[in-house]
Amino acid sequence: MEPTKSLRKLLILLILVTGMTGLQPGFSSAADQRAIEMMDFDEFSPWLSRETDSVYVINFWATWCAPCVREIPAFEQLHATYADSGVKVLLVSLDTPAQVENRVIPFIERMDIQSQVLLLDDPISNRWIPLVSEEWSGAIPATVIYSRDFRGFYEREFKFEELEAIVKPLIRDL
Amino acid sequence: MKKLFSVLSLLFLALTVSAQGYSVGDVATDFRLLNVDGSYVSMADYEDARGIVLIFSCNHCPYVVAYEDRMIELHNEYAPKGFPVIAINPNDTIAEPRDSYTKMIERAREKNFPFDYVIDADQEIYPQYGATRTPHVFLLERVDDEFVVAYIGAIDDNYRDAAQVEERYLANAIDALLAGERPDPEFTRAIGCTIKVRN
């Protein structure tokens, strides 16, 4: 997809969200944060190889995916516990753009998600799945965890303790 | 750094791919599984088939639902040419009640599936194939009395919109076999739902 197209979608979304806040002034600050950035894989790919002093935990999920929804609290807890220690949690939704308004944003609000969420809108997944990881068959949930000296890929569901066990040693080495 | 990542991921690939399931060229196991019409189905029952389009599938997964009509079309197009579809539900029905046998029967009726839709009730078949998601296609070619894996992966390159499809991986792979050629690509990937097991 051309960048202009996704930019336009983002703008439409922003307008929609801003429009909603007009009706509900009490929620304006919360709703402002709830605009989700949408991008195709080329726009997203820098997230997979940022060379900074952080541990990146990138989780691919969707609102319709029961095991994904089940493990979201574990990622949220990871964010809450370790964001100050240099852990960056990114929740990459694979919902369709049409589902953003009626599913993704309500889900984020209901769960009060604090981690950063973005929407990867790129239907030709055969092209980009192996660029995320050669190990990835395409099933979700799937998670990439990396830091400067480590890279792990996990096609599985996580509990908080399991995430913590991977992330903790990486924080020590930052 | 990037190079290191590539080397590492290639290493992971070498370690993982060899460990699980079939690759193209492997002989696929037959099965005897309960169909939505109450009968038991084996691939060997398809005596005239030149191959089987085995699709690990289910009821609840939105990616499957997006492909149901295309699965029907594929069967209608290719069963007469010797490549019928068999859909096989690998999910544990307690972990995912929407994929119960009863619900399979309902879905098959609703959509008027022209193909067999069987349940891997003991979850013994999908691990042998190395299926990891629904939908997950294994195109099998009959060689003598065996079924040999010829293509693994996705149905096409756009789950969301059949009209936007640029490459019909599965149809092209069957066409290649019908023409006596090897499918190219013989392996593709797609986003899908995990196969549900009981915790």
Which CATH number belongs to the domain containing residue B39 in this structure?
Answer: 3.40.30.10
Residues B140 and B172: their CA atoms lie apart, in Å, by 14
ipTM for the predicted complex? 0.81
Task: Answer yes or no: is A29 within a domain.
Answer: no
Tell me, what CATH number does A104's domain have?
A: 3.40.30.10
Task: Answer yes or no: is B7 within a domain.
Answer: no
Q: Using alpha carbons, list the distances in angstroms from residue B133 to A24, A89, B33, B43, B61.
A: 41, 25, 19, 21, 10
Let me know how long chain B is.
199
Please say if the pLDDT value at position B106 is more than 60.
yes
Task: Answer yes or no: is A42 within a domain.
Answer: yes
As beta bridge partners, residue A87 has A55
Task: Answer yes or no: is A11 within a domain.
Answer: no
Asked if B133 and A139 come within 8 Å (Cβ–Cβ), the reply is: yes
Number of H helices and E strands in chain B, helices first, is 5, 10
The pLDDT assigned to A173 comes to 82
Q: Which one-letter DSSP state was computed for residue B29?
A: P
Task: Answer yes or no: is A3 within a domain.
Answer: no
What is the dihedral angle through the alpha carbons of A91, A97, A98, A99, rounded to the nearest 10 degrees? 0
Task: Answer yes or no: is B136 within a domain.
Answer: yes
Task: Answer yes or no: is B39 within a domain.
Answer: yes
Residues B43 and B51: their CA atoms lie apart, in Å, by 9
Count of domains forming chain B: 1
Q: Using alpha carbons, list the distances in angstroms from residue B38 to B66, B85, B102, B105, B186.
A: 26, 18, 11, 9, 34
Task: Answer yes or no: is A7 within a domain.
Answer: no
Task: Answer yes or no: is A91 within a domain.
Answer: yes
- In which residue ranges of chain A is pLDDT below 70? 1-34
Which amino acid is present at A150? F
- Residue A128: CA count within 13 A, CB half-sphere: 19
Structural domain of residue B178, as residue ranges?
Answer: 23-194
Task: Answer yes or no: is A18 within a domain.
Answer: no
Confidence (pTM): 0.83
Phi/psi of residue B25, nearest 5 degrees:
105, -20
Cβ proximity of B98 and B65 under 8 Å: no
B75 at the A interface (CB within 8 A)? no
The pLDDT assigned to B129 comes to 98
Task: Answer yes or no: is B101 within a domain.
Answer: yes
**Chain A environment of B193 (Cβ under 8 Å):** 65, 139-140
Work out how many CB contacts closer than 8 A connect A with B: 84
Count of domains forming chain A: 1
A125 at the B interface (CB within 8 A)? yes
Cβ proximity of A47 and A58 under 8 Å: yes
User: pLDDT tens, B26-80?
Assistant: 999 999 999 999 999 999 999 999 999 999 999 999 999 999 999 999 999 999 9
